[in-house]
Amino acid sequence: MHETVIANSIITQAKKQGKVKSIIVEVGDLGHLPAHEMKEVLETMTKWAVTVKKKRGTVQCVCGFFGEPKILEKVHGHTHFVCPSCGNTPFVVDGENIVLKEVEVE
């Protein structure tokens, strides 16, 4: 149900720009929702053209690795990932947010 809260926040932000025709949303690989779910929710809640772009995750591990993690499981509300170098759980540097990137208005 938190996808509705996230979608409402995006919709509110977009409407502040005027009469919305389309939006572009960036969804991080390490975020709470898979990109396709975010797109479906936004399309259900609006009549706008919705484009969702995926952003790759970036992590840093105590072993020294810096880069894209190995994603083991990505489901609604949960992403399980590890360091591809050592298998430990790394710290997220980027790619866990859902961000409204662009709004096209009439």
Per-residue model confidence as pLDDT tens digits over 77-97: 788 899 999 999 999 999 999
pLDDT for res 24: 98
pLDDT at 1 over 80: no
Per-residue model confidence as pLDDT tens digits over 19-45: 999 999 999 999 888 889 999 999 999
pLDDT for res 33: 85
Question: Are the beta carbons of 6 and 32 closer than 8 angstroms?
Answer: yes
Distance between CA atoms of residues 2 and 46, nearest Å: 17
pLDDT at 73 over 90: no
pLDDT for res 78: 80
Residue of 106, 103, 98 whose CA lies nearest to 23: 103
- Contacts for 75 with CB less than 8 Å, ≥ 6 apart: 34
How many domains, the chain?
1
CATH number at residue 48: 3.30.2320.80
What is the pTM assigned to this prediction? 0.86
Question: Are the beta carbons of 17 and 104 closer than 8 angstroms?
Answer: no
Strand 49-55 and strand 70-75: the pairing is unpaired
Domain that holds residue 97: 2-105
For the segment 47-75, the average pLDDT, to the nearest whole number, is: 94
